[in-house]
Amino acid sequence: MKRLIALLVVFTSIQAQAANNPAPVDLTGVWMPTAIGPTGERTQVFPENLPFLPETEAGRAAYEANYNPVVDDASRSCLPYGMPRQMLVRAQYPTEIIQTDDRITMIVELHNDVRRIYLDGRQKPDGLLPSFMGFSTGHWEKDELVIETTGIRPGGYPEPKSTDLKVTERIRLVDGGDAGTMLELKMVIDDPVYYAAPFTAINYFRQYDGLEMGEYFCSEDLWRQNLDGRTGDYIPWR
Amino acid sequence: MTCTLEDKRHRDIKARILSGLISCLAAIFSGPLPAAEAAPDISGTWVPVSSLSQPWDTASLPLTASAKDALAAFDPARQDSSAFCMPFGTPRNMLNTAPDPFEILVTDHQITFIFDRLGDVRRISTDGRPFPEDPIPSWMGYSIGSWQGSTLHVDTIAMNAESILADSGLPHSESLTLSEEITLMDSEIGLLLIDDMTLTDPENFRTPIRATRYFQRAPYATMSEGSSLCLLDMWRERLENTNREMFRELQAQEAGQ
């Protein structure tokens, strides 16, 4: 009986610690994606053969046959990639991580997007509309930040996604050798509507001296053409 | 106020200890130490209190002739960045009195404002750095802040001249400097975040102009994806109305070349 009580005490104190402990790692800073992994090897974001379901394969073929990049590529209209592609880009646009008490905020320079990851135990509100970034909650498992994201806006090629998509990210600091400390992102993408099985995507991030966030506003081209009088009669909203 | 037993002015060990003791006692009994006012916690979600904010009466501002001309010629459809899903820029993002929430994130080296309306992200460095020598003008400008007691002082330079100060088209030049004093105050309607702004821009204002904005905590406000929604609407509109044919033609031309 005494042992049981002692165990209970230990268990409850561990529970309490889990709730109150400060974050084990501070990820705050500006991070640049990189294809070169911690051992110096070139890495691929996606596995070679995505486990598309047969009907997805057929749908994809039909879509690609009629694909009009001018009209169909959302990124040409300045719409954000959204989750999960937002975290998997390797174009040289940094992401700023701001770690506060019970929140981690990621500001992605490309498309000027903001991810909010709640570590305060809250649940996704009922009826929350799907969004580009989805709804993310996180917790620490030792030195690893685990983030679960649902409520992501469906659609998007070349990697289609449905409202059933669930993305689980594991983020940790790793020794990148000459590259210094690196951020490793391993992401399990689970979408039973389009894929036969969950698959893992991977990305790495580095820090540099003097790396700072810039301003990225995708519609700046349109704005500038407008100021230069190159858009003719075109005025948005009219 | 310091108190040390290692006063180096005295070689004699006894004198050193005695002098140290005296300075310590003096420190203890010389009345209350100056209160080390902690920086208040301004982090969280805030929303403008429109009723308390006095928009500028443009006619009474000390405008220069060129500012008056720019104001008279202003075309909101073509010269308001927000119509193109571009940011408001600083300080229009702070001056906006519409009930659009913004978040403040406070970390050791930086205070970050994230505005919901158009996705403006404003970073205020609080790590003691000086201004860069020749900063490239940007929408948010370059902001440096420091706490003086319970007041956050923020100086901002290098705000690009494509941003305006108000819906009216009130212009500013790249030499605009913005000085802000940000404080918290208890009030009848709860805690207020107050931003006292002074704008100095001799090209447009004969004397500096001032504005004060009040913000209320909005813990239940949900931040949306404001800039994405703006772009989504603009893209739909472009597709559905004017530009679909134009894009098809353009594509046909590209394919024919």
Residue A105 lies in a domain: yes
- Token output for A197: 């099985």
Mean pLDDT by 10 residues, chain B (257 residues): 38 46 48 64 96 90 97 94 93 95 96 94 97 96 97 98 96 98 95 98 98 94 80 71 57 67
Question: What pLDDT does B36 receive?
Answer: 58
Percent of chain A with pLDDT strictly greater than 70: 84
Q: Quick one: B2 and B69 in the same domain?
A: no
Q: Which domain holds residue A81?
A: 23-227
Q: How many contacts (CB atoms, under 8 Å) link A and B?
A: 106
Q: How do residues A109-125 score in pLDDT, each as one tens digit?
A: 998 999 999 999 999 99
Sign of the torsion formed by the C-alpha atoms of A53, A57, A62 and A66 = positive
Closest to A184 in 3D by CA, of A83, A82, A50, A33: A33
Q: CB count, 10 Å around CB of A111?
A: 22
Residue A4 lies in a domain: no
Q: Quick one: B74 and B163 in the same domain?
A: yes
Q: Quick check: B94 and B197 in contact, CB under 8 A? A: yes
Q: Quick one: B24 and B74 in the same domain?
A: no
Per the DSSP assignment, residues forming a β-bridge with B194 are B183, B214
pTM of the model: 0.84
Domains identified in chain A, total number: 1
Cβ-based contacts of B242 with chain A (< 8 Å): 234
Confidence of residue A23 (pLDDT cuts 50, 70, 90): confident
Q: Quick one: B54 and B86 in the same domain?
A: yes
Q: Which domain holds residue B5?
A: 1-34
CA angle at B205 for the pair B204 and B211, rounded to the nearest 5°: 115
Q: What is the CATH number of the domain that holds A57?
A: 2.40.128.20
Residue A14 lies in a domain: no
Instruction: Report how far residue B69's alpha carbon sits from residue B78's, in angstroms, rounded to the nearest whole number.
Output: 16
Instruction: Report how far residue B139's alpha carbon sits from residue A42's, in angstroms, rounded to the nearest whole number.
Output: 36
3-state secondary structure A144-169: EEEEEEECECCCCCCCCCCCCCEEEE
Q: Would you call B231 and A237 a contact, using CB atoms and an 8 Å cutoff?
A: no
Closest residue in A to B226 (Cα) is A113
Question: What pLDDT does A123 receive?
Answer: 93
Q: Please give the helix or strand (H or E) that residue B102 lies within, else none.
A: strand B102-106
Give A42 to chain B, closest Cα distance, Å: 33
Q: Does residue A158 have a cis peptide bond before it, meaning omega lies within 30 degrees of 0?
A: yes
Q: Would you call A114 and B234 a contact, using CB atoms and an 8 Å cutoff?
A: no
Residue B185 lies in a domain: yes
Domains identified in chain B, total number: 2
Q: Does A234 touch chain B (CB under 8 A)?
A: yes
Facing residue for B139 by CB, picked from A68, A133, A215: A215
Q: Would you call B237 and A236 a contact, using CB atoms and an 8 Å cutoff?
A: yes
